[in-house]
């Protein structure tokens, strides 16, 4: 069992937790993920490592309560435990040797973008960060991004904070103004990453995307996280989760990501109804 050392609600649907997992904390690097189960009967879900404290033996996770499992996890409190916490899995984000990078995050994907931006900053890289949210109420990790970014741009769909619009607008403006990035690293909704790639491709700027599709075992055996990259079948859990954005078949990935939407909605409704009965 893995104890929840700290819990913080970042916005109405996003929760941050520090999980006591010393072995994972000592080895996990930016870009890697873990797979957890809330209880013995729970499903396995992947969550990207949002930070570690090797001395305290804790691993930070940030997740959005969108399904039955994340709802159950979000209702856990400090001092309680979860069943399984396996990792680190996947390949770390390649950060060595980069001198100037633009990190583009969207929504809860910013939780994954943050440790990458922090690692780049630690290595002396000039970091420009663009983050996007639907509204100010959903904004997360602003102070943390400011601390590790040489330039931070915040976008909201409704204009309630920062600039109004999508993340590709300031990205294109920066490129056309003469910013020369070694790489653009983008993490967020598939549709956002697709359009970030469409923005950078005409300029030939290497663009890395973080793919976190359906995963089950996290070791490449189940095939649930397969993607088409450069015309070849690859597995996000062992070949990624980072890939060359120019080579990812986003349309296929988006189609696969909706396969279990109806099932997940049913499972979430059942979980919520069970919870309501328990608290009466």
pLDDT of residue 53: 95
pLDDT of residue 245: 95
* Paired residues of 164 in beta bridges: 156
Nearest to 123 by CA among 90, 92, 149, 99: 99
Place of tokens 């601390």: 147
Structural domain includes residue 276: no
Residue 46 and residue 104 in one domain: no
What does pTM read for this prediction? 0.84
Distance CA 197, CA 208 (A): 9
Which of 167, 191, 210 is the last residue in one of the domains?
A: 210
Under a CB-based contact definition with an 8 Å cutoff, are residues 86 and 219 in contact? no
The tokens describing 184, both together, are 């653009």
Percent of the chain as helix, strand, coil, to the nearest 5: 35, 30, 35
Which of 89, 117, 148 is the last residue in one of the domains?
A: 89
Domain of 25, CATH number, reads 2.40.30.10
Report the mean per-residue pLDDT for the chain. 89
Distance CA 84, CA 72 (A): 14
Length of the chain: 280
- Please indicate whether residue 267 or residue 247 has the higher confidence score (pLDDT): 247
Residue 112 and residue 129 in one domain: yes
Structural domain includes residue 250: no
pLDDT of 62-91, one tens digit each?
999 888 889 999 999 999 999 999 989 989
Q: Is the pLDDT of residue 243 over 50?
A: yes
Residue 194 and residue 99 in one domain: yes
What average pLDDT does range 16-25 have in this prediction? Answer: 96
What H or E segment, with its residue span, contains residue 115?
helix 110-122
Which of 32, 61, 89 is the last residue in one of the domains?
A: 89
Structural domain includes residue 57: yes
Distance CA 43, CA 112 (A): 22
- Please indicate whether residue 46 or residue 183 has the higher confidence score (pLDDT): 183
Distance CA 106, CA 189 (A): 7
pLDDT of residue 263: 47
What H or E segment, with its residue span, contains residue 146?
helix 142-148
Domain of 160, CATH number, reads 3.40.50.80
Q: Which range, 41-45, 72-76, 152-156, 218-222, has the best average confidence (pLDDT)? A: 152-156
Residue 41 and residue 131 in one domain: no
Q: Of 75-79, 80-84, 142-146, 250-254, give the lowest mean pLDDT range.
A: 250-254
pLDDT of residue 276: 52
pLDDT of residue 260: 53
Residue 127 and residue 106 in one domain: yes
What average pLDDT does range 238-259 have in this prediction? Answer: 85
Structural domain includes residue 262: no
pLDDT tier at 267, thresholds 50, 70, 90: very low
> Does residue 184 have a cis peptide bond before it, meaning omega lies within 30 degrees of 0?
no
Residue 102 and residue 169 in one domain: yes
pLDDT tier at 183, thresholds 50, 70, 90: very high
Task: Report the percentage of the chain scoring pLDDT > 90.
Answer: 67
Q: Is the pLDDT of residue 44 over 70?
A: yes
pLDDT tier at 259, thresholds 50, 70, 90: low
Give the count of domains, the chain: 2
Q: Which domain holds residue 153?
A: 93-210
The tokens describing 275, both together, are 């919870």
């Amino acid at each position: 069992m893995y104890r929840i050392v700290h819990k913080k609600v970042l916005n109405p649907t996003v929760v941050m937790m520090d999980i006591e997992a010393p072995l994972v904390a000592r080895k996990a690097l930016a870009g890697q993920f873990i797979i957890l189960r809330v209880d013995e009967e729970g499903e396995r879900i992947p969550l990207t490592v949002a930070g570690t404290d090797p001395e305290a033996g804790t691993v930070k996770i940030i997740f959005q309560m969108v399904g039955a499992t994340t709802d159950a996890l979000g209702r856990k409190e400090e001092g309680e435990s979860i069943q399984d916490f396996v990792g680190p899995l996947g390949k770390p984000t390649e950060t060595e040797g980069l001198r100037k990078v633009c990190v583009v995050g969207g929504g809860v994907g910013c939780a994954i973008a943050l440790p990458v931006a922090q690692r780049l900053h630690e290595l002396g890289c000039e970091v420009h960060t663009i983050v996007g949210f639907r509204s100010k109420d959903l904004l997360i990790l602003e102070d943390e991004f400011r601390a590790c970014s040489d330039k931070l741009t915040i976008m909201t769909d409704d204009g309630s904070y920062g600039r109004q619009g999508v993340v590709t607008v300031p990205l294109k403006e920066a490129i056309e103004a003469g910013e020369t990035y070694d790489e653009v690293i983008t993490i967020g909704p598939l549709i956002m990453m697709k359009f970030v790639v469409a923005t950078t491709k005409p300029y030939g700027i290497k663009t890395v995307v973080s793919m976190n599709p359906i995963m089950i075992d996290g070791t490449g055996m189940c095939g649930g996280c397969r993607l088409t990259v450069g015309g070849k079948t690859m597995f996000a859990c062992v070949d990624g989760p980072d890939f060359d954005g120019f080579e990812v078949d986003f349309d296929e990935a988006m189609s696969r990501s909706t396969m279990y939407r109806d099932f997940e909605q049913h499972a979430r409704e059942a979980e919520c109804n069970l919870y309501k009965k328990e608290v009466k």
